[in-house]
Structure 1
Amino acid sequence: MAALGGLGAYADHLLINAEKLVKTPAVLSDIDAAAVPVAAMTAWQVLQVADFNLRGRRVLIHGAAGGVGSFAVQFAKTAGATVYATASTKSVAHVQALGADEAIDYQKQNFEVLASDIDLIVDLVGGQVLDKSWSVLSPSGVLASIAATDVVSRAPAGRHGIWLSVKPDTARLATIAQEIADGSLRSTIAEMVGFDDLASAIERNRTGHAPGKIVLDLTR
């Protein structure tokens, strides 16, 4: 299993540097394994960009029910943070089950009213959500985005924004895979689709879908 860096994920065959590969734990199927590397590594690394210990800190995760968000909630909670998580009405129970201290239904509630003095904001949504988030960020806090490449230029004076570009880390991926195999970390698959449904699945991924990661199974 490996994170492919966005290249070749829909291919039948591909070439990849062996140093990027991690052995899949025996208890995980290929479908289970496919749902992990990109989402989990992105979630892990986006929580590291602040460069401070999360224990006792306040973390706000936008898009917390998706593939990346679901892992980010768990990693932040395990690190000892108080976790605020935004999700749709149908996904609130999911993020609560993952450990979110405050699950915010963005379809009914305004996060900028319920959250304040946040040390780390994880932006997986972008757009207006990003623009509204600066108001709840603490003066010394960090907003890390994977959804807005222009996050730094959009940061108001006195606010710190970071754009994340995920880097390979096979040692960390191996640890994460084993935690999933052991049951101490939860990986959620929203749905499995075949190649004929790929285009519509991409659209569902963009506009909202069931909690977790959509996985393409080329054997279907």
Structure 2
Amino acid sequence: MSEHTMRAVTLSGFGGPEVLTVGRVARPEPLPTEVLVRVHAAGINPVDWKTRAGQGMAGLQRLPLILGWDVSGVVEEVGFGVTTLAPGDEVYAMPWFPRPAGGYAEYVTAPSRQFARKPASIGHTEAAALPLAALTAWHALVDTAGVRAGQRVLVHAAAGGVGHLAVQMARHLGAEVVATARESRHAWLEELGADETIDYTRQRFEEATGGVDVVIDLIGGLDATDVRSVAVTRPGGLVVSVPGGVSPALAAAAGRAGVRTSPLLVEPDGAALTAIAGLVDSGAVRVAVEHVFALEQAAEAHRRGETNRTRGKLVLDVAG
């Protein structure tokens, strides 16, 4: 095939998983300060299937579209002015978010400083599962909440992609960690560092815990999880609401209780990815990959993800 084309998963219209098709498209070329990366694996996130369905970040995209923001691969070419990376470097990133990055493809281009060298102790499959989820957890715990030793941190949806990484990061920061998840995930979450686990299907979490300094809310308005989180948060504590931001109902409840709130939308952050790679290589954080799909199985991967029963992450094997 021509060196100017590549395989990619594209969609020409929003809809169900069936709109994802594999074909050949033009290969991107790096501009000054950008790198061209040959993608070995691409992580899959809820924002991917929400965007595919016309929700999520769909309003910021143009069709036809190549989905995907999480990538791990090898630098193939560098644009003028790049000094931090060179051809042959193994890197991982969440480039361009929320603008389109085209991660479900054999090549991506993006500014060099949105990338970081991938953790040396893991392969591309695991590295591709990290960026969006790990950066979300990092930005919430470190940059937004400033979690410190001795605090109590509640992580909702703790067995998911962001959640299982947030549990480990909070523990690394010295916090006492409370995790909500189905009972079948409790033993695993305790291995990751959770001090207290709550089965949200059997017990309302606000009846099981309290005195929390920081809530990492990865559920939002579903079953009023965001508003109910105020009841377990101490006055002056913080609820970081990731999906959808701070709703009027959450803001009102928090205001009455003297609890702070913050929205969060993850951003590309090569410096943070370097720090996260250090945590992975030190053994402080490990990423769980539940299943790896071939690039041609992207639709199947989305169907699996939309069940909301994934333990950790799903990944596409792009290099195949």
**What letter is aligned with 1:60?**
L
Matched residue, 1:171: 271
Give the Cα–Cα distance (whole angstroms) in 1 for the partners of residues 248 and 277 of structure 2.
Answer: 32
TM-score norm. by structure 1 comes to 0.90
Is 1:143 the equivalent of 2:143?
no
Give the CA deviation at 1:67: 1.4
More strand by share: 2
Indicate which of 130, 136, 149 corresponds to 1:42.
136
Contact conserved, 2:153 with 2:177, CA < 8 A, in 1?
yes
Give the CA deviation at 1:193: 1.6
Contact conserved, 1:49 with 1:144, CA < 8 A, in 2?
no
Is 1:109 the equivalent of 2:203?
yes
Indicate which of 272, 282, 295 corresponds to 1:195.
295
Q: Secondary structure at the match of 2:93?
A: coil
Is 1:160 the equivalent of 2:260?
yes
Matched residue, 2:93: 2
Q: Secondary structure at the match of 1:16?
A: strand
More helix by share: 1
Give the 5 Å matches for 1:1-220: 1-4=92-95, 5-6=97-98, 7=100, 8-126=102-220, 127-128=222-223, 129-151=225-247, 154-155=250-251, 156=253, 157-158=255-256, 159-220=259-320
Give the Cα–Cα distance (whole angstroms) in 1 for the partners of residues 130 and 180 of structure 2.
Answer: 21
Contact conserved, 2:295 with 2:316, CA < 8 A, in 1?
yes
**What letter is aligned with 1:148?**
G
Give the Cα–Cα distance (whole angstroms) in 2 for the partners of residues 52 and 176 of structure 1.
Answer: 16
TM-aligned CA distance change 1:41 to 1:52, over 3 Å? closer
CA deviation vs aligned residue, 1:63-117 (integer Å, no higher than 9, x gap) = 1111111111011111111110001122111211111010111122221111112
Runs of 4+, deviation exceeding 6 Å: none
**What letter is aligned with 2:131?**
P
Give the Cα–Cα distance (whole angstroms) in 1 for the partners of residues 249 and 105 of structure 2.
Answer: 36
Structure 2 unpaired stretches of 5+: 1-91
Give the Cα–Cα distance (whole angstroms) in 2 for the partners of residues 40 and 209 of structure 1.
Answer: 19
CA deviation vs aligned residue, 1:22-81 (integer Å, no higher than 9, x gap) = 122444221121011111111111113554442211111001111111111011111111
**What letter is aligned with 1:139?**
P
Q: Secondary structure at the match of 2:108?
A: coil
Give the CA deviation at 1:202: 2.6
Taking only aligned residues, the RMSD between alpha carbons, in angstroms, comes to 2.0
TM-score norm. by structure 2 comes to 0.63
Contact conserved, 1:58 with 1:120, CA < 8 A, in 2?
yes
State which structure, 1 or 2, has the greater radius of gyration over its C-alpha atoms. Answer: 2
TM-aligned CA distance change 1:180 to 1:49, over 3 Å? closer
